[in-house]
Amino acid sequence: MRVFGLVGLLLALVIVGLLAKKQFATIAAPVLPAPKAVTDAQAPAADTAPANARERSQQVQQQYKQAIDAAMQTPRKMLDDN
């Protein structure tokens, strides 16, 4: 009887370990949301495209900052306490 208890305990431990490994694998590689579509007014002209990766990175960071600032400026709906 002790053997069956030990085998059951080990089987449960293996199952929990596999589930934890699977869960941590999904946490390790989060999926980032895609940036909002750039309108024609915001899109850079073809001749003003960034020359290197550093400039492109700074441009993307600036676009995210502008999007976050715009989102923070929109007022939230307040619930009526009445």
pTM of the entire predicted model: 0.33
Task: Scan for tokens 């619930």, then name that residue.
Answer: 79
Residue 4, pLDDT above cutoff 90: no
Task: Provide Rg for the chain, Cα atoms.
Answer: 26
CB atoms within 10 A of CB 63: 14
Assign 41 to helix, strand or coil: coil
Q: What is the Cα 78 distance to its own chain's centre?
A: 28
Q: CA-to-CA distance for 1 and 16, rounded, in angstroms?
A: 23
**Domain layout of the chain by residue ranges:** 1-31, 33-74
How confident is the model over 34-82, as pLDDT tens digits?
A: 555 554 445 555 555 557 888 889 999 999 999 998 888 877 777 776 5
